[in-house]
Structure 1
Amino acid sequence: MTYPLVPAPPRPPDLAPRPMEYPQVLRGPRHRWWRPLLSLVILVAGTLLVMILGMVASMVAVALSGGDVEKWARSAADAAMTPGLFLATNLMLAALIPVSMLAVWIGHGVSSRWLRSVVGRFRWGWFARCLAVLTPLWLVYTGLGIAVDGAPEGGRPKEWLALLVIMLLTTPVQCAGEEFLFRGWVLTSLGSWFRHRWIALAVPMVVSCAGFSAAHGSKDVWVVADLSVFAITACLLTWRTGGLEAAIALHCVNNMLVMGISIALGGFDQGFIDGETTSSPLPVVTSIVVMSVAYALVEWQARRAGIQRRSTPQIPPPPMVPASPASPDSPASPTSPVAPGPV
């Protein structure tokens, strides 16, 4: 006896059957309580692998170019930002993009495209619009800083041209890598744990601030506060606009202008935050004002552009009824041929 082939049950959709904000975009039919934990394991393992491979590749490149590997290692430990170390650092941070996407794809069992935005893609037009409104603000911000504090000390670095080229080519993807991890993965993966929308935003935001500040190394309370202001603003922009574009634009504008000025005028090494960096209350207050204006500008543009901030519902397919073989003794169905009878 032959049996009819029963097709495999349809795969559940990625997204929930109702609109969800960005922090809960992964809380769909495939969500399970253990998935963020699996995603975290993949993220940590991938990040460590990137760091190890990046350092090994850098040392090999130094050795092949005839450089002194020990001298390079000492300069890296002393945070002397040579062109080679600058390039290696930016590329390792840029590698957080595929690491974060892989953690979502394997850990949560959904397409990693939802990490970009609630529409499943990177909205380049919206990204350009954010750059256009944030760049003038940062030009005024950095210009006033130079006018008040004066030009940075130390003069232009002797390898300024190489540093400038590396900055232009790799700093945008470095900024994107940090945002994919500290805003993208943290908000969506941890946010999927919580049913209430405000808890799904608040808890990951605290984790994002703590992780972003710790990654920079400084334990100074004012440096941590300044970094936390930036992290909170980036989280709120991501939540409000339903994607990473605005946060990446904010990060790019800040890093590109600050680094560009330090390369042109001096103080490039001092522009990087490490364990020895300290600050004071005034920069924190300034950051609060500037970040508030930045958020207001992006909010204004998001309303004008009608930016989608919630996912489009995906309806799960109806359950399949397994087919059963027909029995000779079973009554004929309405579609079965029947013998003619008396009328």
Structure 2
Amino acid sequence: MTDPRPDSTPLWRDTPPALWRSVLGLLIFLSLYSVLLSLWFIALAPFAAALPAGRQVATLLMLTSFVTALLALELVLRMLHGRGLAALAGPLPPLLRQGGRVLLYALPVMVVLSALPMPEALAPRRHLQTGAWLSWLPLGLLAVAIQISAEEFLFRGYVQGRLRARFDHPALWLLLPALLFGVLHFDPGSGGNAWWFVASATAFGLAAGDLTARSGSLGPALALHFLNNCTAILILSFGDELGGLALYHMTIRQDDAALLPLMPVDLASTLVLWLTARLALRR
């Protein structure tokens, strides 16, 4: 029998979803994602290497590769749940309205936070000239949008949504997806700072998860994630594989102990942006 509910009905309204189906969905997702991601780089890497602006293209290639995660999740939803990605996003009008309000409120706050003075030892250096940066900016914005959409649809839309429909306690449906999101940001190359980056990602996961639960759509989390990653990838980035599109580069690496004093500031910034987004949703 055909499910009469619209495709935009969030999965967390199902009562209650089978836990084994959610676990199976994640396992199938991981398998599909691994295959699709490998095919993506095999198919496009030769073209990227042949282009003159290799570093910028490499960053674009990495960010846009998250389209394979969206495709893998779409296939899982169709196979196991009879829905598409729209089922995770929530109704479109509230999503656009809420996401727009969060962008409107959080953007000036992000500008102020980004303009705060940094220690002299951490003063950034210019990476791209303004003209070159602006020429890459449209593609960079699109690539970041793809990347953050994949993460939000998976962690807040699917994982948190399924857990929230199955369990009542926020320690399970809010904390577990945030911890998973944080742990997957662990990078051994960051040395002693690795767990600070995990804590930062976990804090953001908690903020995005709370906004999703309160709003009933992915709009606020998508907006906040987009602003955060645009700042970290397109404005001021490390000089690694994700830094090709940045206007400025940090003069130190991710494993440098000089970063430690900035970690509490980063967590405080997440708190401020979360409170700003909650204020936007109340207006």
TM-score tier after normalising by the smaller chain length: 0.7 to 0.9
- C-alpha change, 1:236 and 1:195, in structure 2 (3 Å) is closer
The residue that corresponds to 1:203 in the other structure is 176
User: For the residues of structure 2 that align with 1:114 and 1:226, how far apart are their CA atoms?
Assistant: 28
The residue that corresponds to 1:194 in the other structure is 167
Does the 8 Å contact 1:138/1:253 carry over to 2?
A: yes
For structure 2, the 5+ residue unaligned runs are: 237-244
Q: Secondary structure at the match of 1:34?
A: helix
Residue of structure 1 aligned with 2:96, choices 104, 124, 140: 124
| Residue identity opposite 2:214 in structure 1 | R
Does the 8 Å contact 2:167/2:173 carry over to 1?
A: yes
User: For the residues of structure 2 that align with 1:278 and 1:153, how far apart are their CA atoms?
Assistant: 19
Which of 43-52 and 149-158 deviates more? 149-158
User: For the residues of structure 2 that align with 1:287 and 1:46, how far apart are their CA atoms?
Assistant: 34
User: For the residues of structure 2 that align with 1:39 and 1:32, how far apart are their CA atoms?
Assistant: 11
1:134 counterpart = 2:106: yes
- C-alpha change, 1:277 and 1:34, in structure 2 (3 Å) is farther
1:232 counterpart = 2:218: no
The residue that corresponds to 2:241 in the other structure is none
The residue that corresponds to 2:261 in the other structure is 282
The residue that corresponds to 2:137 in the other structure is 164
1:60 counterpart = 2:46: yes
1:98-117 to 2 correspondence within 5 Å?
Answer: 98-117=71-90
User: For the residues of structure 1 that align with 2:92 and 2:79, how far apart are their CA atoms?
Assistant: 17
Deviation at 1:141, TM superposition (A): 0.5
Cα deviation digits, residues 41-77 of structure 1 (max 9, x gap): 32112211221122112223146x478xxxx9xxxxx
Does the 8 Å contact 2:220/2:277 carry over to 1?
A: yes
User: For the residues of structure 2 that align with 1:242 and 1:215, how far apart are their CA atoms?
Assistant: 32
Which of 155-164 and 217-226 deviates more? 155-164
Larger Rg: 1
- C-alpha change, 1:148 and 1:233, in structure 2 (3 Å) is farther
Cα deviation digits, residues 124-180 of structure 1 (max 9, x gap): 222111111110011000000458766413643796455434313322222212221
The alignment yields a C-alpha RMSD, in angstroms, of 3.6
Deviation at 1:14, TM superposition (A): 5.3
| Residue identity opposite 1:32 in structure 2 | A
Deviation at 1:108, TM superposition (A): 2.7
- C-alpha change, 1:155 and 1:82, in structure 2 (3 Å) is closer
User: For the residues of structure 2 that align with 1:66 and 1:300, how far apart are their CA atoms?
Assistant: 45
For structure 1, the 5+ residue unaligned runs are: 1-9, 73-80, 305-343
The residue that corresponds to 2:15 in the other structure is 28
Q: Secondary structure at the match of 1:87?
A: helix
The residue that corresponds to 2:197 in the other structure is 223
The residue that corresponds to 1:267 in the other structure is 249
User: For the residues of structure 1 that align with 2:221 and 2:189, how far apart are their CA atoms?
Assistant: 21
The residue that corresponds to 1:84 in the other structure is 57
Does the 8 Å contact 1:131/1:250 carry over to 2?
A: yes
* TM-score, normalised relative to structure 2: 0.78
User: For the residues of structure 2 that align with 1:58 and 1:127, how far apart are their CA atoms?
Assistant: 32
1:97 counterpart = 2:83: no
| Residue identity opposite 2:150 in structure 1 | G
Aligned residue-pair number:
270
Cα deviation digits, residues 80-135 of structure 1 (max 9, x gap): x8122111111112332232233233223345422102x36772222111111110
Identity among equivalent positions (%) equals: 24
* TM-score, normalised relative to structure 1: 0.66
User: For the residues of structure 2 that align with 1:164 and 1:105, how far apart are their CA atoms?
Assistant: 34
User: For the residues of structure 1 that align with 2:35 and 2:251, how far apart are their CA atoms?
Assistant: 27
| Residue identity opposite 2:273 in structure 1 | A
